[in-house]
């Protein structure tokens, strides 16, 4: 029972927590996918895998659109 509960808690926490973004650009180092409002945005990752420092409308317009918004 305890082992099943531990696995369940681990899966819930893993699914709910945002992961740190891997980027060579110091601007995005240590950033994660935003789970809060757009005021916290520092940029985004585009659908083609590139990164942009744009934080609003038109971000990644030439790269297939925004895959995820990034926050610190």
Q: Which residues contact 69 (CB under 8 A, 6 or more apart)?
A: 33, 34, 38, 41, 43, 44, 55
pTM of the model: 0.69
The residue among 68 and 20 whose pLDDT is bigger is: 68
Spatial distance between the Cα atoms of 23 and 67, rounded to a whole number of angstroms: 15
Domain locations in the chain as residue ranges: 19-71
Spatial distance between the Cα atoms of 68 and 25, rounded to a whole number of angstroms: 16
Side-by-side strand order, sheet with 32-33 = 32-33, 66-71, 41-46, 51-52
pLDDT tens-place string over residues 3-60: 554 444 444 444 455 688 888 899 998 899 998 776 789 999 999 999 999 999 999 9
Q: What is the pLDDT of residue 28?
A: 92
């Amino acid at each position: 029972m305890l082992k099943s509960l531990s696995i369940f808690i681990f899966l819930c926490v893993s699914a709910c927590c945002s992961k740190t973004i891997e980027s060579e650009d110091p601007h995005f180092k240590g950033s994660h996918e935003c789970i809060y409002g757009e005021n916290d945005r520092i940029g985004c990752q585009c659908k083609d895998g590139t990164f942009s420092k744009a934080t609003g409308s038109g971000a990644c317009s030439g790269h297939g659109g925004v895959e995820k918004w990034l926050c610190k």
